[in-house]
Chains A and B, each alone.
Chain A
């Protein structure tokens, strides 16, 4: 994951609202639509970097 997304901001942006990068995605815009809090999004990004 670190090689794919060296910039944490980019990975965080995907979780926050992937429709910006890929309008076809079915991933819910977790940040934009207030599905998750900022803290929860940071925790997911932390988790993703363990993969």
Chain B
């Protein structure tokens, strides 16, 4: 079977030519990068309304969209929202709760993550903030990839639906370096199959990879966490990154590795202004 799959890839590759949004100048300039990235997607997909990019493959493929709209009446992520809401309302053993760790008690704030923490000089994602909250209150951290973490982030995304991403990159060399490292990781090829994140999500959104329709990188973070039929369950941003790396036969980093957080920072900044749509459902 392997050889036939290889033939399909060869035939597809004979007609595919890629492109990358114009690279930034020698100094790190997130604003220029943002404009080039945004222009690339809006010019390539002039018929996709800007806010629809957050719907990933459904923004690219009318047939897939119909199927999604049909199942969305019984959203497969509803249980995760309910569970997350319950977890959010349940106090830790010390009497405090998640709400005490976040601005606005954690409601309607997902669009502000990840952010750059100027005290520690690192990128803080929502998942990392949740586990640090647990540890600060004497609780064991959760696995980053699914289950409880997916439920908590599903609920937090749900309370933020429709709010535009508002990611800030302060004029701090450490924040700019995080942005640049995230961008570099995103465009670097890796694994035996030699794919970068961008090979699929910048060069080929809307095209098929085997039976899947590839999602555009623009807005891809807005739907996290997602229920994936392929996973038969929920997965976080961490799960998405680890799985992507494995699928190209590369060695994944640890969930919430500094570099993964930098990638999320870069991608979220690129999605500034687009509405939170999570939790999402994907084939």
Measured CB to CB, the residues of A under 8 A from B are 14-15, 18-19, 22, 24-30, 33-36, 40, 43-44, 47-48, 51
Contact = CB atoms under 8 A, between A and B. Distances in A.
Interface residues of A, dominant DSSP? loop
B75 interface: no
Interface of B: 2-3, 6-7, 9-14, 16-20, 192-195, 199-200, 203-204
Nearest to A44: B7
A18 B7 CA distance: 14
B208 to A, nearest CB: 12
Given A18-B13, A36-B3, A43-B3, A26 B192 contact: no
Contacts, number: 59
Contact of A33 (B9, B19, B193): B193
Contacts of A27: 9-10, 12-13, 16
B121 to A, nearest CB: 35
28 contacts: A14-B10, A24-B18, A24-B19, A24-B20, A25-B17, A25-B18, A26-B13, A26-B18, A26-B195, A26-B200, A27-B9, A27-B10, A27-B12, A28-B193, A28-B195, A30-B6, A30-B10, A33-B192, A33-B193, A35-B6, A35-B193, A36-B6, A40-B3, A40-B6, A43-B3, A44-B6, A48-B7, A51-B11
